[in-house]
Chain A
Amino acid sequence: MKLDVLDRLAQLGQFGLGHVQSLGRSGIFLFLAIFSRAGFTGRGALLIRQLYNVGVLSLIIVTVSGLFIGMVLGLQGYSILIRYGSEGAVGQLVALSLLRELGPVVTALLFAGRAGSALTAEIGLMKATEQLSSMEMMGVDPLKRVIAPRFWAGVISMPLLAAIFNLVGILGGVMVGVDWLGIYEGSFWSGMQQAVDFVDDVGNGMVKSLVFGIVVTWIAVFQGYDAIPTSEGISRATTRTVVYASLTVLGLDFILTAVMFSEL
C-alpha cells in the first residue's frame, strides 16, 4: 500500500520532469537556431523559399477569413447599435475589435493550423526519413539549414499577415456597413479615426502578432524536430502543434491584453 503511494508520487515526478525537460530542450533548441548565425551568408534563398511556404501560401485563408469576420462584425454591430440610433459607431466597433483582438488572435490560430502544422509535418518527416541525420553526417548543421530559415520566415510573416487580415476585415466591415446597410460614410470613417490610436491600437496589435508569430513558429518547429520518427509520432506531433499553439496564443493574448490595455 505504501509502495503504491510512492509509485504514484514517482509517476507525478516523472511527468513533471518530462515536461520541464522538454521545455528546457525547446529553449536551448530555439537559442541555437537563432544564434548559430555563423555562415548565414547564402541562406537568403532558403529564407525566401520558406517565406513563400509560410507566408504567401497562407495569404488566401487569411484574406478570406478576414473579409468574412469583418463583414459579420459589421452586420452584428449594426443590428445592435441601430436600436440606440448610433449606427455610426459601427466603424469604431469593427476597427477596434479587429485591431486589438481578432486580428492578431484569429490570424495566429489560422497560422498555427495552416503553416504550423505543415512545418511540423515537414520537419518530422525529414527526421523520420533520416534527412536530418544525413545532413549532420555531411557536416551541415540542420538547425542552421532547416530550422532557422523556417523560424525566421514564421516570425516575419505573422505580423504582415495580421496587418493584411486587419485591413481586409475593416474593408469587409465597410462593405457591409456603408455599401449594403447604408451607414453614412463620413461618420463611419471619422468615428473610426477618432477612436483608433496608432500606437495604442495598431501598434499594440502588431506587437501581439509578433509575439504570437514567435510562439507559434517556435512550437511548430520544435514539435517537428522533437517528434518520434514514426508515422504515428509525426501525426501526434502535428496535432500537438495545433493544440499547444492555439492554447498558448489564447492564454498569452489574455496576459498581453491585461498588460497593454489594463488602464482602460
Chain B
Amino acid sequence: MRMRTLEISVGAFMLAGMLALVVLAVKVSGLSLKTGGETYELNAYFDNTGALKPRSRISMAGVTIGQVRSIELDKANYMARVVMDIDQQIDNIPIDSTASIVTAGLLGEQYISISIGGEEAFLRNGERFEDTQSALIIEELIGKFLLGTVNKNE
C-alpha cells in the first residue's frame, strides 16, 4: 500500500512537470499548433529596415494580420527584401497598398503597417508591394536637425 501512494505521487509529479512544459509552450511562448498552411507570402523591398526582426508583426488598421518571415539583402539593388506571412483570410489587399515600417511608441519595437490602396485587383501569393516606406531612424533625423538640413518652409 505504501508503494502505491509512492507510485501515485511520482506519477503526479511527472504529470505536473510535463503539464508545466505544455503551459510554457502554449501560454508563455504563444506556440499555436495551427500555424502552417494558413498563410500566404508577400514581398516588399525597403531602403532601410531599421530594427525590424523576423517574427515582427504586420498590422492593418492596428490589427495584426501576419508576421515577418525573413529579412535579407537583395544583392542586385542593395535593398532589403522582407518576406511576410499574411493570414489566408486577409486575401483582399489592393495591389497599390503601401507597406511602411513604423515604431510602436517612442522606444517600442518596429512593425510593418499596411495602408490600403484603391485598386480593384488584389495581391496574390508571392507578389510584392510596389510602394514602401522605410524605417524612421531617429539618430538620422536628429543629425539632420542639428545640421539644419531639414527645410522649415516645406
SS class, residues of chain B in contact with chain A: helix
Whether B124 is near chain A, meaning CB under 8 Å from some CB there, is no
Take A160-B17, A164-B20 as given contacts and tell me if A194 and B25 are in contact as well, using a CB distance cutoff of 8 Å.
no
* B21 adjacent to A196 (CB under 8 Å): no
A84 to B96, CA, bound (A): 38
* B10 adjacent to A164 (CB under 8 Å): no
* B29 adjacent to A166 (CB under 8 Å): no
- B39-76 residues at the A interface, CB under 8 angstroms: 55, 57
Interface residues of B, count at CB 8 A: 26
A84 to B55, CA, bound (A): 25
Whether B24 is near chain A, meaning CB under 8 Å from some CB there, is yes
* B13 adjacent to A193 (CB under 8 Å): no
- B1-46 residues at the A interface, CB under 8 angstroms: 3, 6-7, 9-10, 12-14, 16-18, 20-21, 23-25, 27-31
A residues near B7, Cβ cutoff 8 Å: 48
Take A86-B107, A99-B28, A201-B29 as given contacts and tell me if A52 and B10 are in contact as well, using a CB distance cutoff of 8 Å.
yes
Q: How far is the CB of B56 from chain A (nearest CB, A)?
A: 9
- A43-60 residues at the B interface, CB under 8 angstroms: 45, 48-49, 51-52, 55-56, 59
Please pick, from A52, A156, A166, A194, the residue contacting B20 in the complex, using a CB distance under 8 A.
Answer: A166
Please pick, from B13, B27, B105, the residue contacting A51 in the complex, using a CB distance under 8 A.
Answer: B13
Whether A155 is near chain B, meaning CB under 8 Å from some CB there, is no
- Considering only CB atoms, which chain A residue lies closest to B111 in the complex? A194
A156 to B10, CA, bound (A): 11
* B17 adjacent to A56 (CB under 8 Å): no
Please pick, from B25, B105, B108, the residue contacting A202 in the complex, using a CB distance under 8 A.
Answer: B25
- Considering only CB atoms, which chain A residue lies closest to B18 in the complex? A160
A55 to B7, CA, bound (A): 12
Whether A167 is near chain B, meaning CB under 8 Å from some CB there, is yes
B residues near A7, Cβ cutoff 8 Å: none
Q: How far is the CB of A90 from chain B (nearest CB, A)?
A: 14
- Considering only CB atoms, which chain A residue lies closest to B11 in the complex? A48
* B20 adjacent to A167 (CB under 8 Å): yes
Q: How far is the CB of B59 from chain A (nearest CB, A)?
A: 13
* B17 adjacent to A161 (CB under 8 Å): yes
Whether A104 is near chain B, meaning CB under 8 Å from some CB there, is no
A195-224 interface code vs B (CB 8 A; 1 in, 0 out): 011100110001000000000000000000
Please pick, from B6, B30, B105, the residue contacting A52 in the complex, using a CB distance under 8 A.
Answer: B6
Take A52-B9, A56-B9 as given contacts and tell me if A160 and B14 are in contact as well, using a CB distance cutoff of 8 Å.
yes
A56 to B17, CA, bound (A): 11
15 contacts between A and B (CB under 8 A): A52-B10, A55-B14, A95-B28, A99-B24, A160-B13, A160-B18, A164-B20, A166-B24, A167-B20, A167-B28, A170-B24, A193-B28, A194-B30, A196-B30, A202-B28
Lowest 7 A-B CB distances belong to which pairs?
A160-B17, A193-B30, A163-B20, A167-B20, A198-B29, A196-B29, A198-B31
Q: Could you list 11 further interchain pairs (A-B, Cβ under 8 angstroms) beyond the known A160-B14, A166-B24?
A: A55-B13, A56-B10, A156-B14, A164-B16, A167-B23, A193-B30, A194-B57, A197-B55, A198-B25, A198-B29, A202-B29
